[in-house]
Amino acid sequence: MRKSKSIMASILVLTFILLSACGNKGQADSAAKAAAGAAKSSEPVEIEFWYGLGGKLGDNMKRLIDKFNSSQKEVVVKPVVQGNYDETKKKLQAAMASGKVPAAVLSSDISWAKKGLFAPLDDLIAKEGSFNKDDFIPTFLDQGKTDNKQYFIPMYGTTQLLYYNKSMFEKAGVTAEDMKTWEGLAEAAKKLTVKSGDNVSVYGWEPMWGYENLLDAVLCKGGKVISEDGKTILIDSPEWIQTWDSFRKWIHEDKTMAIHSGGQGWEYWYKTIDDVMQDRAAGYTGSSGDQGDLDFTKLAAAPQPGWNGHTPAPVASAILAGIPAAASPEQQAAAMKWFTFFTSAQTTADWSMNTGYIAVRKSAMEEPAFKAFAEKNPQSKQPLLQAQTASAPFIDPTGGKITDALKIAADKLEIQNLPADQVLKEAKDTAQRELDRVQGK
């Protein structure tokens, strides 16, 4: 009996030791997991930022990404470069379908936001104490809103300007004052064009390929895309037909103007710039963002003109960035930190000085470096001057069907030399059908 009790006691002691060991092991495992979690949380969050910028724009974006990454240890931005804005959008669409999205993207689509594909940013903005929405230029910030929510952040503003070769203008006896109207610019282009028979060695002017330059000129004549009540497409009005047919005539009949079209990415854009820089054209209509690629010892800038009797009113738009809704909360917060850095007064002023794009914050104009730069580089003031009378960008209520119709019409006119009334009537019919469809007619 005594031996039995002794054995029982030994078993109890052994059991206690084993249980204690197991308990210690469990505590050790928990401690190890906690330590691993702490180590992981102390590591920076890596996010991809997709953007379609080339040339010096791409170089400047990479420079600012590197500056952000070295300025703090919480977030690492990995740049992913696309061919252009359209390519970014196409690849983003495929990424959203697969569920593997970047955390930040230089692209925006209000219709995608309404479908829940982009994250609303108001809560994220509220958590970023230095964001300060009131300091943003209102027209730029408002372009990122829908349904009274902020879905996109304006990274920089842009508008289309006139750039011209100073020595070629002087030689031809043409001044910037001669380009105060589109009629005046057309006459200047005739003087600046150099022909030998039917061969043109120097074009007087080169509009940029696509419907955007044509739309700017229409707005500068008082035309509209859609009626005030949002029900009727107006792109076959006299303002549209007269404007578009003027460009068709200048390009195909007078041959005082020309365009580059097609190619990969921004190829057509840089070919246009090269023509002016290499004396094959006296001037062109291009983005305020081109200023980082231009030599202003050779070129000068001027605002776009109106037509006789009309105030200039080209579009000034914001280039917006968003956060896909499928990104994790951790990545969304990291993306907002990157956006906050890029849109700070100092950084947006830096971007404006180095690229020519418009700063998105009012306080950027008070940055000492920007004020000194503007005094030495008067071309940097032209986008701001133009923005004072600029039109807001057209928001396509069909999710892009109206602008697609305009793109097709512009190609038919600029490349195929088809009449303005024909291509615009066809585009109007297509656009009206799409508008009626979304309105349930």
Determine how many CB atoms are found less than 10 A away from the CB of residue 6.
Answer: 10
Asked if 115 and 324 count as a contact pair (C-beta separation under 8 A), the reply is no
CA 290 to chain CA mean position, Å: 13
pLDDT band at 41 (very low <50, low <70, confident <90, very high): low
State whether residue 397 is helix, strand or coil: coil
pLDDT for 381 equals 82
Residue 199 vs residue 29, higher pLDDT: 199
* 262-313 pLDDT, tens digit each: 999 899 999 999 999 999 999 999 999 898 889 999 999 999 999 999 999 9
Rounded to whole angstroms, what are the CA distances from 128 to 78, 105, 338?
21, 19, 11
**Domains defined along the chain, listed by start:** 44-158+318-387 (3.40.190.10), 159-316+393-438 (3.40.190.10)
pLDDT band at 424 (very low <50, low <70, confident <90, very high): very high
Asked if 309 and 180 count as a contact pair (C-beta separation under 8 A), the reply is no
Asked if 107 and 152 count as a contact pair (C-beta separation under 8 A), the reply is no
The residue written with tokens 């246009």 in the block is 272
* 109-163 pLDDT, tens digit each: 888 999 999 999 999 999 988 889 999 988 889 899 999 999 999 999 999 999 9
pLDDT for 130 equals 84
Q: What is the mean pLDDT of residues 165-175?
A: 97
pLDDT for 30 equals 45
pTM for the complete prediction?
0.72
Residues contacting residue 108 through CB under 8 Å, at least 6 positions apart? 118, 144, 151, 152, 320, 321, 322
* 335-355 pLDDT, tens digit each: 999 999 999 999 999 999 998
